[in-house]
Amino acid sequence: MVNKIPHGTYTLALQGQMVVCDYAGSFNLAGVEALIRDVLALTQHLPRWVLFQRPEPSAAVTFDAVEPMMNGYLAFQQAGCLAVAIVERSFFVHAGKPYRPAALTLEIRIKPDEDELLLWLQEQLHVK
């Protein structure tokens, strides 16, 4: 039986052309789908944007949600996302690497230094 109740908590904030996503807890498939849907709704008026993800150490994803999560990045790319930066605070930020869709060309950078990632995202908005 598939759990249709979204698990995982998140907040989204739009700062210019940057979506800031803070999240925690274990995301199931419904939680991942809700997050993808909300990011796309928030950015629908932007032709170009970047995503800055700041997970809490408790952030995780269920196995059945990993591939849909990676397909979400493909949907973001198709909706104008230029780059994704993820602060490395949780082991699970690396969970999607083996499931990266072939058509996903945007760079997803994972590092522990928030300031370095923010600078890189700002550069991506001006380079591309």
Domains contained in the chain, number: 1
Q: What is the pLDDT of residues 54-97, one digit of tens each?
A: 999 999 999 999 999 999 999 999 999 999 999 999 989 999 99
Q: The domain containing residue 20 runs over which residues?
A: 9-127
User: Is the model's pLDDT at 121 over the cut of 80?
Assistant: yes
4-34 pLDDT, tens digit each: 899 999 999 999 999 999 999 999 999 999 9
Please tell me the predicted confidence (pLDDT) of residue 81: 98
Transcribe the chain into DSSP letters: ----S--SEEEEEEETTEEEEEEESEE-HHHHHHHHHHHHHHHTT-SSEEEEEEE-TT-EE-HHHHHHHHHHHHHHHHTTEEEEEEE--SGGGGTTGGG--TT--SEEEEES-HHHHHHHHHHHHHH-
pTM of the predicted model as reported, rounded to 2 decimal places: 0.95
Domain of 62: which CATH number?
3.30.750.24
